[in-house]
């Protein structure tokens, strides 16, 4: 599914990508994008955003928040400014972004990667207020799992209201709502009472770790976590 704010660009993308996929293009200005979708549930949503504003994004916002499409990966094609505007208003944000002037071969490569990721059997939510830590953990996991990232406990709760995951990596120390507080609220959600949670902690957070033991987490990992240690721990938890 291709959603575009530019009619000519939409037609260009459709003409190129229909060689490889079953494709339908829809203009972003349409307020109900799903009503115009005739090819069935898409495997990937590609959005070309140019000179966008919030009023132009209403259809995409509804599309992204649709419960039946939450697991469908989204690729954003935009320059830096439009990408920032898009990510400000569309939540969850895109799963990947490529530059507006990217070659079609790079766009196809990004689509293939997203589709391959969406077919992975396990979904993991990473919760950390540190964008550097989020990026590092996501890079460790991307080749093995479907990964979603949020920057606060409150955003984690909003995400989990709409989507079930197989495992949560949860930072212990976060402002406003720390890891143990977030986990307490997660355990009150019927669909996540038994979802395994691994805490990510710093060396100085021993007291917080001890207070979280009664929440029965599946383990603790000290940041910055090594890739092999992280993957081994996740494999152990998911296999039990």
What is the per-residue pLDDT across 82-139, written as a single tens digit (0 to 9) for each?
Answer: 999 999 999 888 989 999 999 999 999 999 988 876 655 688 999 999 989 998 999 8
Write out the E strands in 151-205.
167-171, 197-201
Q: Residues 127-176: pLDDT tens digits?
A: 999 989 998 999 899 878 888 999 999 999 999 998 889 999 999 989 88
Q: What is the Cα–Cα distance from 85 to 219, expressed in whole angstroms?
A: 37
Q: Residues 37-50: pLDDT tens digits?
A: 887 778 899 999 99
Q: What is the Cα–Cα distance from 17 to 161, expressed in whole angstroms?
A: 34
pTM over 0.85: no
| Domains defined along the chain, listed by start | 2-118 (3.40.50.2300), 123-239 (3.40.50.2300)
Q: What is the Cα–Cα distance from 26 to 205, expressed in whole angstroms?
A: 50
């Amino acid at each position: 599914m291709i959603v575009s704010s530019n009619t000519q660009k939409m037609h260009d993308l459709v003409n190129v990508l229909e060689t490889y996929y079953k494709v339908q293009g829809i203009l972003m200005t349409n307020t109900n994008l799903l009503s115009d979708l005739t090819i069935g549930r898409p495997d990937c949503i590609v959005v070309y955003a140019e000179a966008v504003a919030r009023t132009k994004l209403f259809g995409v916002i509804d599309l992204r928040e649709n419960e039946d499409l939450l697991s469908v990966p989204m690729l954003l094609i935009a320059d830096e400014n439009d990408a920032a505007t898009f990510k400000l208003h569309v939540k969850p944000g895109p799963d990947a972004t490529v530059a507006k002037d990217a070659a079609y071969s790079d766009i196809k490569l990004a689509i293939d990667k997203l589709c391959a990721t969406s077919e992975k059997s396990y979904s993991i939510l990473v919760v950390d207020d540190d964008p550097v830590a989020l990026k590092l953990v996501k890079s460790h996991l991307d080749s093995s799992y479907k990964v979603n990232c949020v920057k606060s406990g409150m955003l984690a709760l909003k995400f989990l209201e709409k989507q079930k995951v197989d495992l949560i990596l949860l930072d212990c120390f976060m402002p406003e709502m720390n890891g143990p507080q977030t986990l307490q609220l997660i355990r009150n959600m019927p669909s996540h009472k038994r979802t395994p949670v691994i805490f990510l902690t710093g060396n100085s957070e021993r007291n917080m770790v001890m207070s979280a033991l009664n929440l029965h987490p599946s383990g603790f990992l000290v940041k910055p976590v090594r890739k092999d240690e992280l993957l081994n721990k996740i494999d152990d938890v998911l296999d039990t």
